[in-house]
Chain A
């Protein structure tokens, strides 16, 4: 009892005892005291080890003592051996040396800009530093740390849970779109920046958080940029909120300027040099050159793992396969040691993502050549994930980047040259554990002349319809003067406003409508959200729900290069003559059938479908269904026997996608998009074989030929009927489309009149 009282005093004021606490003795005694532990457990959520910590006045020494255990300062359980091992590693990280300075600045300033090279420990350590000083659990709040990528959020949360010796989803959790792994005890939450933005829509002041860390700010994702704009205002309203902006690029002046000259803390950089190599001349085929470089490194270079950057899932999987095959040959010829190859990209399931952290394989025989691992990754490995042991980086100089053209309303992911800044980041990955080498598959002159300095922030490369809807929901009225670090082109904002207006999410004064407010509840593009919300009017909300989920996940059809014909035959089993949307729906229904569910993996494999995508669609559907139920949107189906079953679905499609319609140009193969009048072709993958004059499409694929992908045929009458504002024929530009629509309008009128006469 005595002890208890003592601590209570300590907690509340404490001056006399402070010195004693700071030398760590008091704390250790307390931690060792089982009686005390029990007391702390009772006060659920009060940390055992941190009872004497004064919020925003702690020191590194205190925190270190608490970290040393023997009891976990946050849970009161004893710490594992593994924890101790990791703790030692953690203390070797560059950020650790700056813990004092960090704490000082963090305590003094509301906003702090923190820069440090990838691998210095920003993502994993800084939030923990914050926990010991901020102690959000004491005020039932949390520390949020945002990540631009789902993969990083999951992987880093997992790692930090291990570092803190807690169960993932308990004290440390993560939250990404369609997946929330947090619980009532969560005090540190890694989340995608998009998720934090969504939370801000419901809680404009983000009151659940005591500290918000925007990590990887240099990546300048759309959500991070918007969050920066919002938080800049929130910190004025909430003086108790602390904000840390973390970046891997050293030039942070832009961030500082933007945040009212916030203080900057920089951790000194890597210690190992990275030698850069260029090819003496441009490469004919960067993928092939990359493969050869990897194999050459493997056969001839010293021990050390390889990181190869490629652009997308397909390219990466293909490269992994080829490298593995060739490497096996090398081993057989005894020209090299064993090589394991791991892919890394955003849509990879978490378990497979974790594999990249496994150590390189041992030599095949004792004394043989050392093994190596090779990671073939998208941009994720550029800064988001730190993989120790990488000594060689192979950089072809490309990545997939989003671009948006508001004139023709096309947003696409295109393979484009990276920026100089990206190239340097990539190279930096080689010097983590010892001197490394970066092989650039381009010439030095290409580096200098063909690469732009900085990658354009996403806000300048995106369709902003969702963003504008979110901003409206966030209460931002004046979009023109919203303080973004890089404001988008005016035309991009106009397009977004216009799309939302046509979707009836904004009224003619630019105010959010009920529909718009509802649509903002869904983590979906406005067109998809509107389609889903209005689908009950077409008696097919169950089906549209499935379809929306299917359109939100990667491609469900698998078409391996080696077996295209068979894959196409299988796809034909599901084909619906009216289009790809309906075909996808058929696939989903078949997938959910008893027969398929008996062994869904095998079934998918047999039918050339992606089990992962379908499973994901199932999950997304469930999440969306919850939102629909919460918003009291009715779930219903037209009876399958009813001949309007498919027609209703197609009409509901029009209700969301009336701005993505194309009309066939004469009798040929060519189509022209409505209003924007771009010439397009149906993507070769379409099942739509028959004569379809009007189609809705899900995606405009920008290549040297413009394709529309995932298309379904619709009737022009529906366009006029369902989206009369957009299809205000009088406002159309003179041309074939206008004439055709006029004809349809006249026909409808005549019918109406006849009806009226009868």
Chain B
């Protein structure tokens, strides 16, 4: 992405949430975006995740220009190329694990038999093969987040995006989750996660620091 900007107009004031951001992510990148609260981390992630479009600038994903896409094209990209993991998990509470995990495949038009098989497989990968009929309320925070990771994985996305995935978890569980991300990275997935905890960021191979909508530093580790 090049000179990416996102402005919010608040009355007569313009908030520069992102100000001329230039970034590149390669295949199998494993990066952490860090920075103080309000520095633009979530805004950046929403744009990378095609939930939002930039005010100006270029964003190219796998050779496709995202900035000019309409809502439905963005939805298609999110479905095929992006896997989200949220701080607040964002599972549908009335559906069991299997149904939650297979949801992206419904929108991709995959047949019920294949959906179920792939959802089982994804749950197995995050170590929840024996919990498939449980509803989110019957699981612990760590288990819920693992279901969310399984959902993010299911459609073999180009990028897995995680906005403070450990923000609502205790330290031990956080490290368990980070171990899963590590395994996924080793398996070849591209992962970008947001965190403000240094010891979470330490799991990644690249740290990008934001301040006031600008890149402060971008270092491999």
Chains A and B belong together in one complex: no
| Residues of B bordering A, CB below 8 Å | none
| Residues of A bordering B, CB below 8 Å | none
